[in-house]
Amino acid sequence: MNEYEQGRTEFAPDEDAHVVGDCVKHVLRELPSSPVPASCCTALLEAFRLESKESRINSMRAAMSETFPEPNRRLLQRILRMMHTVASHTTENRMTPSAVAACMAPLLLRPLLAGECEMEDDIDMSDDSSAQLIAAANAANNAQCIVTTLLEEYESIFDDEHPRCSLSPDSRIQDSGSEESTDDETVDAKDNGFHDAENDVDQELDERILSGNLSESSARTGADLYDYQV
């Protein structure tokens, strides 16, 4: 971070990708406000819940143009293009669009993870640990799915002058088939040093909620729950 603040913008091919990824997440985490404001998170959530894919995408496009402040929209687009670059190398890094979204969604949609967005299926967040777990899991799942949709349908949702940002068929196919991977493949991934983000999500989410460390109002809740290395 010190080198970047002193003007460094280029990274060598042998640079530790985890360090670079952590720097990106650090910048987003330390922003004084969420990259996506609460009202915009609510608009995206409502759009995502629509039945048909066409209606969902049209509603997300409308949310972008009607509810997002211009600086926030441009920041989100820039981050999505970075995520696209990572996901386009799925065969090398095993970071599918869904996996990249799991890493970045809590940093982008902070209000949703912090319980600041109105949800139709709101659950009583009292002292019941299981209710907190269900509510937090629903919010995390919605956040990941929203960002995955924004990433995969970038060209349909954003209409601007920036370069085309579409994922290759290979990335989408691998992502859709990831749930069918065998135990052997999972073990092989861990042996090769790849981070199993989605499995760790459940474990850390359980630990934080059951230990009473999950706060509805904390702006950093989402980032803590999914603090993974890209």
The pLDDT tens digits for 139-177 are 899 999 999 999 999 998 987 545 455 555 455 544 444
pLDDT in tens, 176-226: 444 444 444 444 444 444 444 444 444 444 444 344 443 333 334 343 333
Q: How many Å apart are CA 127 and CA 69, to the nearest integer?
A: 36
Predicted pLDDT at 4: 86
Helix, strand, coil abundance in the chain, percent, nearest 5? 65, 0, 35
Give the largest CA-CA distance in the chain: 50
Predicted pLDDT at 167: 58
DSSP state of 30: T
Q: How many Å apart are CA 79 and CA 108, to the nearest integer?
A: 9
Grouping H, G, I as helix, E, B as strand and the rest as coil, residue 12 is: coil
**Is 42's pLDDT higher than 60?**
yes
Q: Is 49 exposed, middle or buried (0-12, 13-18, 19+ CB in 10 A)?
A: middle
Predicted pLDDT at 165: 54
Q: How confident is the model at residue 114 (pLDDT cuts 50, 70, 90)?
A: confident
* Domain 1-7+17-119+134-161: homologous superfamily in CATH: Rho GTPase activation protein (1.10.555.10)
Q: CA distances (Å), 130 to each of 33, 99, 137, 140, 207, in order? A: 29, 25, 10, 15, 12
Residue boundaries of the structural domains of the chain: 1-7+17-119+134-161
CB 228, CB 142: distance < 8 Å: no
Helix axes 129-152, 197-210, angle to 10 degrees: 150
Pairwise pLDDT comparison (197 vs 133), residue with the higher score: 133
Pairwise pLDDT comparison (205 vs 67), residue with the higher score: 67
**Is 105's pLDDT higher than 70?**
yes
Structure tokens given for 9: 């913008």
